[in-house]
Structure 1
Amino acid sequence: MELRHLRYFVAVAEARNLTRAAETLFIAQPPLTRAIKQLEEEVGVQLFVRKPRGLELTPGGEFFLEQARQILERVSISVDETRRIARHQKTIFSIGFVPTIFYGQLPLMVRRLRQNRNLEIVLHELKTRDQVEALKAGKIDIGFGRLRIEDPDVEQENLFDEPLIAALPAGHPLTRKPPSLADLSEVPMITFPSGPGPNFSDITLGFFRRRGLRTRVMQQVNDVQTALSLVASGMGFALVPEQVRRLQREGVDYVPLAEDDVTSPVLASRRRGESPNAIMRLTNTILAELVDNRLTGRYP
């Protein structure tokens, strides 16, 4: 099926007459008739029935007309946006992020940036180390992660240190009061992400190791959503950033820890030595406001 088939179909459906539709499309009637027949054969549905006064859409044809109009409209918008970007009427601003950042300030920052109609925001889910490489390659303009990476070409700003909390099965005995890491070490643990480190899993396990505590890792999963699903099923607990509690999940209770030094940094990574352009200055301004809101308690 080609786009021309959809355009031909819409023209015929609106004209209810092959001759008038052909004139509108500036083509001869026989090729238009063949195109409509080919379309019906490919869809496997009769789209028109012939009436004395012209063509009439079948119920299937009515539905297909609505869908065809939507497809053609989306294609038209995509083409217009592509041409606008090619004419430099929009600036592309690419952001790298780790998933656990996306439950806090990042969506608010993206929403504020998108108010600028001349800005095209592109999001890339990347581990912190991959963000550093993407920054150096010019694939992203700023990255948000949790791991400190030493690289002469990239600078990292510690926006704030975020407390980690325990995600426990609802009603678990340890939800009655803030548990210590020693308490949690007696419970099977679910970590994320899986795969080679360093990653957030290494951060969480490190808190136990530095205290001489051994953990029983029941399962390693790829993301926080899956980890919470396993917690809800009673398989164990997970340490998650505080902002994840905004993600309400049935069967999961979020509990602060007894220790107040179990935190994870939220880092912004940028290319070192690069003079900020207008978009980066705007981003920095919005980011400073959101971080201030977070630190002063105006945002959870």
Structure 2
Amino acid sequence: MDIDLLRTFCQLAEDKNFRVASQHLYITQSALTKKIQRLEENLNVALFDRGRHGAELTPMGKVLLPEAKRVLKGFESFQRLASFVAEGTSGHLNIGFGISSFHEAPNYIAKFKQEFPNVHVTLNDYPSHKLVEELRLGQLQLGFDRLPVEAPLKAIPLFSDRLAIAIHEEEKINLDNLWASLSHYNYLGLSQSKNPTLNKHIATYLWEAKQRPVVVEEAHDLITALALVSARLGYTIIPASVARISQPQIRFIPLTGEHAEWSVGLLWNSDITDPVREAFIRKVES
């Protein structure tokens, strides 16, 4: 049904006069009459009794008027919401993040919410390879992850992270001869299947540094790796940013070299149009 016919019905019911209602609707009386007739034909009921004194609702018209007002109000609310969504001021954002952006991602979201309180934000923790996959599939609108990215993904660089040795603070390490010191301890690796992107980065770094530590025990995730280090079962190589959620007895030794550091940025799928996402990107860039 044409929503404009319901708007005409409600206006005439309020004014009870064809001339006055037509003026409020900015149409001619003839056009108003035709709209009411069309609505009555669609509903197969008479809505008004026409007389010298104007238009009075019929019993059926009185029954239908409250529901017509409700539908009209709902449609107008929908129009306003659609307008806000088109402007990027209302809607929903599904955002992914990794350990490197554990602190930064919530800060960016908090600043965005101050300006766009009507946008609902869901924040999800993903390993890097899964986050990229979800962005490509359109399941995530935005993600905080390592750079660079490949098309159709685009990104804004935000900050950097680097690899670091994580080892119990009571272990004796000579920083001037780091790898020789570490050779006395077990190397705790990360699961290849669970952390393929980070593992590839670590492998590239170790190749550059000409180091080939043998994995003695494997952890499924970073938290488990930290627990093993805390238990003094050896050392691991993980992002330095993990120190923010680490146990205090774990020491982090930042690594240097061409492949030790990487940029972290805000990622999105450029093949997908999303006004709310664009508003978030503009806020981050400002």
State the TM-score, normalized to the length of structure 2. Answer: 0.59
- Look up the match of 2:9: none
Q: Distance in 2 between matches of 1:178 and 1:266?
A: 29
- Look up the match of 1:254: 252
- Look up the match of 1:161: 160
- Look up the match of 2:208: 210
- Look up the match of 2:228: 230
Q: Distance in 1 between matches of 2:167 and 2:124?
A: 30
- Look up the match of 1:125: 125
- Residues 181 and 268 (structure 1), Cα distance of their counterparts in 2 relative to 1, 3 Å cut: farther
- Tell me the CA shift for residue 231 of structure 1: 0.3
- Superimposed CA distance per residue, residues 84-106 of structure 1 (whole angstroms, 9 cap, x where no aligned partner): 9xx768411011222x1243311
- Mapping of 1:181-200 within 5 angstroms? 181=179, 183-184=181-182, 187-195=185-193, 198-200=196-198
- Look up the match of 1:66: none
- Mapping of 1:130-141 within 5 angstroms? 130-141=130-141
Structure with the larger RCO, 1 or 2 (CA within 8 Å, 6+ apart): 2
Check conservation: 2:225, 2:236, Cα contact below 8 A.
yes
- Residues 211 and 188 (structure 1), Cα distance of their counterparts in 2 relative to 1, 3 Å cut: same
* DSSP 3-state at the match of 1:117: coil
Check conservation: 1:95, 1:143, Cα contact below 8 A.
yes
- Tell me the CA shift for residue 118 of structure 1: 0.4
- Mapping of 1:234-245 within 5 angstroms? 234-245=232-243
Check conservation: 1:128, 1:144, Cα contact below 8 A.
no
User: For structure 2, which runs of at least 5 residues remain unmatched after alignment?
Assistant: 1-77, 85-89
Q: Distance in 1 between matches of 2:161 and 2:125?
A: 20
Q: Distance in 1 between matches of 2:152 and 2:277?
A: 20
- Residues 275 and 237 (structure 1), Cα distance of their counterparts in 2 relative to 1, 3 Å cut: same
Q: Distance in 1 between matches of 2:194 and 2:246?
A: 29
Q: Distance in 2 between matches of 1:191 and 1:251?
A: 19
- Residues 198 and 182 (structure 1), Cα distance of their counterparts in 2 relative to 1, 3 Å cut: farther
- Tell me the CA shift for residue 208 of structure 1: 1.2
**One-letter code aligned to 1:94:** N
- Look up the match of 1:271: 269
- Tell me the CA shift for residue 244 of structure 1: 1.9
Q: Give the % identical residues.
A: 20
Check conservation: 2:152, 2:270, Cα contact below 8 A.
yes
- Superimposed CA distance per residue, residues 22-64 of structure 1 (whole angstroms, 9 cap, x where no aligned partner): xxxxxxxxxxxxxxxxxxxxxxxxxxxxxxxxxxxxxxxxxxx
- Residues 114 and 281 (structure 1), Cα distance of their counterparts in 2 relative to 1, 3 Å cut: closer
Deviates more, 1:219-228 or 1:197-206: 197-206
The alignment covers a number of residue pairs equal to 200
State the TM-score, normalized to the length of structure 1. Answer: 0.56
- Superimposed CA distance per residue, residues 135-178 of structure 1 (whole angstroms, 9 cap, x where no aligned partner): 2332111112236453x32224443432222211121111x647
- Tell me the CA shift for residue 186 of structure 1: 5.0
- Tell me the CA shift for residue 191 of structure 1: 2.7
* DSSP 3-state at the match of 1:249: coil
- Tell me the CA shift for residue 254 of structure 1: 1.9
